[in-house]
Copies of this chain bind each other. A is one copy, B any other.
């Protein structure tokens, strides 16, 4: 049986300060937890109903009831298992390939979707400003659908990251070169901005290239594409040309 303290400790991981303190994050559901168990992530402990099949040693597994699962789950429909995993030590990003940079993405769903897009497009490095939502936030973790295991995510000061780069830097703005008509480098840094405010002024430098997606519709239009939608279109443009 789960003690009150255990329940409290598990659910406290929905908060960033406790994730940092414990160096652990939460993941839920059969598919996601199974994928994490098969990945390089280190499992700390798994809480699962008897329905969940696993070869985990007893020391790493606590069998719980449906009622207990409901108490620790963050999902509307809890699904057999909640796992606690170690937050991996952050490495330094390497200046190679196509790197996506996020300047203060705040919505967990957007970050989760962008991680999934990186995975789809074979992008293995995602660099985030310190103000970007934590990728170990449970809502982000769930939205990645396992892509978290295949994309390395770094939080760092973007100014110095971009300044130290030899790769061309593309800023995605509302004005700039038409992405469909511009030559794009295979190796590059692609910067996506905040949902409401776009890319920070301090990052907008003349030596960087500005790109935009043209509107096709009537004049009075959607003000801008959602950042995850825009990311999917930019990544599609970068990647389709390498065929």
**A interface, CB within 8 angstroms of B:** 109, 113, 116-117, 119-123, 145-147, 150, 180-181, 213, 215-218, 220-223, 225-226, 228-229, 232-233, 236-237, 239-240, 242-243
A-B CB contact pairs (8 Å), 17 listed: A109-B109, A116-B222, A116-B229, A117-B225, A119-B221, A119-B222, A120-B216, A122-B218, A150-B217, A150-B218, A150-B220, A150-B222, A180-B240, A216-B239, A216-B242, A232-B233, A233-B236
A142 → chain B closest CB, angstroms: 13
Report the separation of the CA atoms of residues A145 and B223 in the bound assembly, to the nearest whole angstrom.
9
In the bound complex, residues from chain B placing their C-beta under 8 Å from that of A116 are 222, 225-226, 229
Number of copies: 2
Is B150 a contact partner of A221 (Cβ separation < 8 A)?
yes
When the two chains form their complex, are residues A229 and B117 in contact, meaning their CB atoms are under 8 A apart? yes
Given the interface contacts A221-B150, A243-B180, does A120 sit within 8 Å of B236 by beta carbon?
no
Contacts of A146 in B (CB 8 A): 222
CA distance A225 to B115 in the complex (A): 11
Complexed CA–CA distance, A89 and B133 (Å)? 42
A89 to B109, CA, bound (A): 34
Task: Provide the residues of chain B in CB contact with A181, threshold 8 Å.
Answer: 243
Decide if B145 touches A222 in the complex (CB within 8 Å): yes
User: How far is B215's CA from A240's CA once the two chains are assembled, in angstroms?
Assistant: 10
Decide if B239 touches A236 in the complex (CB within 8 Å).
Answer: no
Contacts A120-B215, A120-B225, A150-B217 known; 11 new A-B pairs at CB < 8 A: A109-B109, A113-B226, A120-B216, A120-B221, A122-B215, A145-B222, A146-B222, A150-B218, A180-B243, A225-B232, A236-B236
